[in-house]
Amino acid sequence: MLNLIAFKYPLFMLGLAMNMIMFLNMLSMLVVLPMYMQMALLVSALATGLMMLGIGMVLASVQTNTLPKHYPDGIAITQTSQQVSGAIGIAVMVSLFSAKQNGYLTDVANDLPAAAASGSSLVFKISLIFAIVNVVPSLFMKKPK
């Protein structure tokens, strides 16, 4: 069971919100990027898998140091929020990708690579907006005392 005392700290809450946006973005891109590479760019599954393996090797768990007295509670909440926001991000972004791709196939042309590029383009633009929005709260982060 999560100890919710960490939610009393505004700096933790700000960092948690930023972390959730970042994980929503990152995990959804880890799903959409291989789809784009294979369907739009026609890259082989092996090459795509090797590239994704390389990305996975450099990712590290994002932790928090804004809770000196409640560090374990903050870690548990942070990791839970990462999983939830990642699952939401994947579901939403893949749904948007599919809807745009299907719309292209129906309305424009029966060209799967172009349709996949169209769906990917929409998702990449949304991801960019999330990344830019996430910069704003980072301006209010300060070192804990």
Residue 145, in any domain of the structure: no
Instruction: Give the pLDDT score at 67.
Output: 64
Domain of 99 in residue numbering reads as 8-60+67-136
Rounded Cα gap, residues 89 and 83, in angstroms: 10
In a domain, 141, yes or no: no
Residues 11-54: pLDDT tens digits? 888 888 888 998 899 889 989 999 999 999 999 999 998 888 87
Burial of 17 (0-12, 13-18, 19+ CB in 10 A): middle
Q: How confident is the model at residue 61 (pLDDT cuts 50, 70, 90)?
A: very low
Q: What is the pTM of this model?
A: 0.79
pLDDT in tens, 89-144: 999 999 999 999 999 999 999 999 999 999 999 999 999 999 999 888 888 777 66
| Residue 53 counted as domain residue | yes
Q: Count up the domains in the chain and report the number.
A: 1
| Residue 32 maps to a domain | yes
Q: Looking at the domain assignment, is residue 51 inside a domain?
A: yes
Is the residue at 25 inside a domain?
A: yes
DSSP state of 5: G
Q: Does some domain include residue 99?
A: yes
Establish if 102 belongs to a structural domain.
yes
Q: So what's the pLDDT on residue 137?
A: 84
